[in-house]
Amino acid sequence: MAKLVINQDKIGNIEEIIKICPFGAMENVGGKLEINASCKMCRLCVKKGPKGAVEYVEEEVKKIDKSLWNGITVYVDHVEGEIHPVTYELIGKARELANKVNQKVYCLFMGYKIKDKAEELLHYGVDDVFVYDKKQLENFKIEPYTAVFEDFINKIKPSVLLVGATTVGRSLAPRVAARFRTGLTADCTILDIKENTDLVQIRPAFGGNIMAQIITPNSRPQMATVRYKVMSAPERTEETSGKINLCEIDDDKLNSNMNVLEVVPKENEKGIADADVIVVAGRGIKSEKDMAMVKELADLLEGEVAVTRPLIEAGWADAKKQVGLSGRTVRPKLIITCGVSGAVQFTAGMDNSDYIFAINKDEKAPIFKVANYGVVGDIYEIVPKLIEKIKVLKEA
């Protein structure tokens, strides 16, 4: 980190220095020069102002002893003990990272009457499961859940914390990160780790135009959230490994200003995230009525229709049907894209599909870089022919 230091005694004409800043970041406050939040650290005031009036000072970064922090921890996301599949995907990635730096894989499991459920995690190669089983943790409430996280981190000192980007995870992770003044990267698509245990967190940035690599070298624990269907879950083994650790925490730390009066189960609905076959309509679809063509293809394949962001903005489909980082992450056995260009924001939400079949009349479209099979042509010619071919095969 760096800062600008003002030496008031070396300033002659304040107004002349103020004019130097192109961002209006300098002010005359009671006869003294002050820098406001508009400062972009361009340092023109240092270069063009009176010598020594404004100095650019690099602050010494406090080093952290990384050897005191060990282990890759996965937060166990669940509803009444039923573990969310994203947890298993994160365990698989955690094992991969842990093997690179010769560390252990931990799971943090908090709730009520969950001790028996914790054993299932041992079928996935976890070294230790830390279980906080308390009545106060029966329903998700941010204060007690954060308190448990804090207790766990202070006792175990994990180097990395991986959290599923679910409704609970997205609420809990930022609160924990703020409490420990550490970094948090949301919706990571790729995770890696250096030999010095710095976590490399990769995700699209600037509207998907670049893939940003983010590290937090001077703070621990390192935290990242990952969406469901982005990582690969390990195979469940018949035998168990690792152990379950029952943890205690003072009841007074679990106080909350919220009371859960009633829990209403949400009706299960099949969405594109659970579909084995998806047909995606992109910007190449000219009108809303042409969505019928895409739906017919999806129905023939017993799949689901999905769309890209422009079609959501046009009001042609429900937001739940959007594929991409600003929509849903999917991992079907087959995905067919119709008139989809293939921007990073979109491909990051579907590039782990088993088979990607792309149709686009632009042979240079980015979608062809991730597709297993591609057809260069007009979707209004190809999709109807594909529909007819499938109908013939079905009748045969």
Any idea what the CATH number is for the domain that residue 220 is in?
3.40.50.620
Average pLDDT value for the chain: 93
360 assigned ligand-binding residue: yes
> Do residue 49 and residue 89 come from a single domain?
no
Note the pLDDT of residue 273: 87
| Token pair recorded at residue 349 | 């939400």
Note the pLDDT of residue 207: 66
Average pLDDT over residues 382-395: 93
> Do residue 290 and residue 366 come from a single domain?
yes
The answer to whether the CB of 239 falls within 8 A of the CB of 192 is no
> Do residue 8 and residue 81 come from a single domain?
no
323 assigned ligand-binding residue: yes
> Do residue 162 and residue 232 come from a single domain?
yes
136 assigned ligand-binding residue: no
28 assigned ligand-binding residue: no
Count of CA atoms in the C-beta half-sphere (13 A) of 359: 22
The answer to whether the CB of 185 falls within 8 A of the CB of 219 is no
Average pLDDT over residues 71-83: 95
The answer to whether the CB of 48 falls within 8 A of the CB of 26 is no
> Do residue 294 and residue 384 come from a single domain?
yes
Query: Residue 341 and residue 324: Cα distance in Å, rounded?
Result: 13
Note the pLDDT of residue 269: 74
Average pLDDT over residues 279-289: 95
179 assigned ligand-binding residue: no
Beta bridge partners of 5: 55
Q: Minimal CA–CA distance to 35: which of 54, 57, 12?
A: 54
325 assigned ligand-binding residue: yes
Note the pLDDT of residue 127: 97
Note the pLDDT of residue 58: 84
Band (186; pLDDT cuts 50, 70, 90): very high
Domain-located, residue 272: no
Note the pLDDT of residue 100: 97
Query: Residue 231 and residue 214: Cα distance in Å, rounded?
Result: 18
Average pLDDT over residues 361-370: 95
Beta bridge partners of 307: 281, 322
| Token pair recorded at residue 91 | 């365990």
Query: Residue 111 and residue 130: Cα distance in Å, rounded?
Result: 11
Specify the DSSP element, H or E, that contains 100: helix 85-101
> Do residue 335 and residue 216 come from a single domain?
no
Query: Residue 77 and residue 94: Cα distance in Å, rounded?
Result: 15
Compute CA distances 204 → 118, 208, 256, 317, 341, whole Å: 34, 5, 36, 24, 16
**Count: domains in the chain:** 3
Q: Minimal CA–CA distance to 221: which of 101, 95, 64, 90?
A: 64
Percent of the chain with pLDDT over 90: 81
For the segment 32-55, what is each residue's pLDDT rounded down to a tens digit? 999 999 999 999 999 999 999 999
Band (195; pLDDT cuts 50, 70, 90): very high
Q: Phi-psi region for residue 302, left (φ > 0), alpha (ψ -120 to 50) or beta?
A: left
Domain-located, residue 16: yes
H and E: helices and strands count for the chain: 11, 21
- Mean pLDDT highest for which of 141-155, 201-215, 382-396? 141-155
Q: What is the DSSP letter of 113?
A: S
Band (184; pLDDT cuts 50, 70, 90): very high
Note the pLDDT of residue 61: 73
> Do residue 128 and residue 16 come from a single domain?
no
> Do residue 40 and residue 81 come from a single domain?
no
Query: Residue 185 and residue 219: Cα distance in Å, rounded?
Result: 13
65 assigned ligand-binding residue: no
For the segment 333-355, what is each residue's pLDDT rounded down to a tens digit? 999 999 999 988 899 889 889 99
Say if strands 54-58 and 2-6 run parallel, antiparallel, or are unpaired: antiparallel
Average pLDDT over residues 63-88: 95
Band (128; pLDDT cuts 50, 70, 90): very high
283 assigned ligand-binding residue: yes
The answer to whether the CB of 143 falls within 8 A of the CB of 257 is yes
Domain-located, residue 269: no
| Token pair recorded at residue 7 | 């030496």
CATH number at residue 21: 3.30.70.20
Mean pLDDT check: name the lowest of 364-368, 369-373, 392-396. 392-396
- pTM of this structure: 0.81
Q: What residue numbers bound the domain in which 8 lies?
A: 2-58
